[in-house]
Amino acid sequence: MSENLHLVFSKPPEHISDEEYNRWYDFHLGEILVVPGFTAARRYRLQPVKGEWTPSGHRYLSAYELEGDPKDVMAELDTEVASGRMQLPDWFPQITHTHHQTGPAGAVRAAAKDKAALRRDSVVWSGTSMLRPSNVATERRSPSVCRHGRANASRSITPVSMARSE
């Protein structure tokens, strides 16, 4: 997974059905993925688990993986939008949305190809043998859409918790 993500929280206009919005947005992902620097995208529907609302009232989240400097990638997106090649519906300006850039946070980042590698005591995490996974919880990643519009075929297992060794 890329270190930089571009997150878009959105809500369709009141007079547009979720079905119509999703049909357009699914097509729109392909338009975004031709922009240099956008390498993968996934969409989510937000549903409250605790409480009665989603952050800022948005119902959808689109997560785009970025390769390269996010400022350069967003400049490429602006160029593509200005070109007129994107098929934006008449109601596009009425979509409520907010955009966020993310990058790495914290001192420890780790990646492994399989769970066995995560459990080896000799694995060096972030340059020191003092860190190792402990009771590693894993999360299956569903295939995302690659920049060519095809689903990535492989499923990966990603560590989601780590602890210091004694």
Terminal CA-CA length for the chain: 30
- Average pLDDT along the chain, 166 residues, taken 10 residues at a time: 87 95 94 95 88 76 94 95 93 92 68 50 40 38 48 40 36
Given this model, what pLDDT does residue 26 score?
A: 93
Given this model, what pLDDT does residue 135 score?
A: 37
Given this model, what pLDDT does residue 122 score?
A: 42
Given this model, what pLDDT does residue 161 score?
A: 33
- Residues near 150 by beta carbon (within 8 Å), at least 6 away in sequence: none
Given this model, what pLDDT does residue 129 score?
A: 38
Q: And the tokens for 119?
A: 């459990």
50-81 pLDDT, tens digit per residue, is: 877 666 688 899 999 999 999 999 999 999 99
Residue 105: phi and psi, rounded to 5, are -135, 145
What is the set of domains in the chain, with CATH numbers? 4-102 (3.30.70.100), 115-164 (no CATH)
